[in-house]
Amino acid sequence: MAVDYVLAEKANDNTEVSETNAVDALMVLCRNDLNLVNALIIDRMDSAVPMIPQVASYLINAGGKRLRPLITLAAASLCGYQGDDHIKLAATVEFIHTATLLHDDVVDESELRRGRASANTLWGNQASVLVGDFLFSRSFNLMVEVGDLKILDILSTASSIIAEGEVLQLASSADMSTTRETYLQIVASKTAALFAAASRVGAVIAHQPDRQEMALKDYGEYLGIAFQLIDDALDYSGKQAALGKTVGDDFREAKITLPVVLAYEQGTPEEKAFWKRVMEDDQQNDVDFDQAMSLMEKYHTLDATFDLAREYGDKARKALIHLPSNDYRDALDGLIDFCIERDY
């Protein structure tokens, strides 16, 4: 199977890499490791059942940024790790992430993912559920091969927390009584838990003391929260073309994210009634999205969401202080700005 993963090719070829952003910079820094991770991913998503690599590679090669495995690689190298188990851990993390995406698309009934038809649109919900299960199982195979019980505990616990967060999000959808606390709990679980685990295992595999392990965990967690806050703001920010998503997906799916929670909290009784109608009663007409946008502008809730993301970015940056200063730490620091400033 050809590795047509475009960013890996970019990283392969020294001359073509321009350090236009922090992810590219991180890729250059970790490029040998990243190539090994990509090769391992291709190898381990293979199966005698052809539908599995078909569906899995469609998603895995779809131009994702490999953000989570890059964090694992950088965290391990930052801590001076010299072995090769971080390759397996990085692939584990990407498999967990990809399994989650496959199941998310079924849950959200998404038709698009990263600008292309989603896997469930092409192969059906059944294939998405089952290939997701396969990748999830393979992720456990990989981490078992590493054979470190502490790492197994961290990653299997993260998986439970992710699933819990996804269910909480489902239970809170179309429910305007969702508080900002519940929203943040969803974000911390469904998104930040994997960032935190991806980062933390880099320290564990390098046998670092607790302080550094916890610093990397905190970095990942805060970065993950900032990342998701930006995602949720971008869903309303009008720069959707680059995101490869339909504009206003969250609105139409009645997903209650922070920009909506904040507008509802501050809303007049009439405005609250509007939010309840469009979010809870599944009654949206052509002008409702514009009305929602103008209410979010009225209360500056997108700005507030971006501001909160910056606060979490600052926390992530402070966590890095406890770690050795080197190129990898600088790259992880740069990643914070990337996650916050990105417009896709």
Give the interface with a copy of itself as residue ranges (CB under 8 A). Answer: 47-52, 103, 106-107, 125-127, 129-131, 133-134, 136-138, 140-141, 144, 147, 149, 152-153, 156-157, 159-160, 162-164, 166-168, 170-171
Distance CA 215, CA 80 (A): 15
Nearer to a copy of itself, 122 or 242 (CB): 122
Cβ 72 to a copy of itself shortest distance, Å: 19
Nearer to a copy of itself, 27 or 106 (CB): 106
Cβ 75 to a copy of itself shortest distance, Å: 21
Nearer to a copy of itself, 162 or 296 (CB): 162
Cβ 190 to a copy of itself shortest distance, Å: 10
Cβ 83 to a copy of itself shortest distance, Å: 17
Cβ 261 to a copy of itself shortest distance, Å: 18
**Residues in Cβ contact with 123 at an 8 Å cutoff, skipping those fewer than 6 apart:** 51, 54, 55, 131
Distance CA 301, CA 261 (A): 9
Distance CA 66, CA 130 (A): 22
Both tokens of 106, joined, read 């079924």
Instruction: Give percent helix, percent strand, percent coil of the chain, each to the nearest 5.
Output: 75, 0, 25
Nearer to a copy of itself, 134 or 251 (CB): 134
* Contacts for 162-169: CB closer than 8 Å, 24+ residues apart: 162/96, 162/100, 162/189, 162/190, 162/193, 162/194, 164/189, 165/189, 165/190, 165/191, 165/193, 166/100, 166/103, 166/104, 166/107, 166/190, 169/255
Cβ 124 to a copy of itself shortest distance, Å: 8
Cβ 304 to a copy of itself shortest distance, Å: 26
Give, rounded to a whole angstrom, the gap between the first and last alpha carbons of the chain: 29
Nearer to a copy of itself, 130 or 247 (CB): 130
Nearer to a copy of itself, 30 or 142 (CB): 142
Nearer to a copy of itself, 28 or 129 (CB): 129
